[in-house]
Amino acid sequence: MFEFGDLRFRPVEREDLKLLHEWENDFEVIMYSRGKPINFVSMGQLEKQYEEWMKDEKEIHLIIERVDLKEAIGIARIEKSDFGNVRNAEVGTYIGKKELWGKGSGKQITVALLEICFNQLNMERCEAWSVEYNHRAHKALEACGFKKGGAMRQVEFVNGRKWDGFHFDILRDEYLAIRMDLLKQVLGNRLEEYIKKHCTIAGH
């Protein structure tokens, strides 16, 4: 488990599939997170997908819990890959509890994913994709230091028209330059506790 302020990241368990079934069939959640809101998914398909996740060492799928609310609020995915010899991670997330959108958890989740990628997995770069109309996600990514690069043009079709897919990335050094500021912003007075637990090892 990875604890980050009020958030806790833990592996997806079979018992979570019921919750995922609800979120993965929510038109709005999937419209924003994947740009394919009609790709409904049955429980059987989710079970198969879960079996695949268990075998795949390149992908990490995590349930995000809000410890203060005592409930799961969303999911995150980290896909590890190598560009030549460069360690790269693609990250993605959604908050399935829509009532929490726009209340700051997204930024906290994004910083937590950067901490996992750069401070635990030793990545050199981190990237994310987001559909053109997803302004909230673009803001969350940019607020955490991601830079918008290119666009994959007209790659999605939703609500009667085509939309571009935007690519965002951040390099390790860029993150390290703003890391403490970001950690302060999202952890507040819990920063010291985090640094003690995740940035040092007793006796070293």
Please name the residue that has the structure tokens 């997170």.
33
Per-residue contact track with ligand COA, 69 to 98, x per CB under 6 A? ------------------------xxx---
- Asked if 106 is part of the footprint of ligand COA (rule: CB under 6 A), the reply reads yes
**70 touches 89 (CB < 8 A):** no
**5 touches 198 (CB < 8 A):** no
Nearer to ligand COA, 180 or 199 (CB): 180
- Asked if 137 is part of the footprint of ligand COA (rule: CB under 6 A), the reply reads yes
Using CB under 6 A, which of 58, 135, 153, 196 touches ligand COA?
Answer: 135
Structure-token pair, residue 20? 């995922």
**Closest approach of ligand COA to the CB of residue 7, in Å:** 11
- Asked if 163 is part of the footprint of ligand COA (rule: CB under 6 A), the reply reads no
Distances in whole angstroms, Cα of residue 170 to Cα of each of 84, 116, 178, 179: 17, 14, 11, 12
d(CA 100, CA 16): 19
Nearest to 91 by CA among 110, 115, 106: 110
Using CB under 6 A, which of 29, 60, 89, 112 touches ligand COA?
Answer: 29
Contacts with ligand COA by CB under 6 A lie at 29, 32-33, 93-95, 101-107, 128, 130, 134-137, 139-140, 143
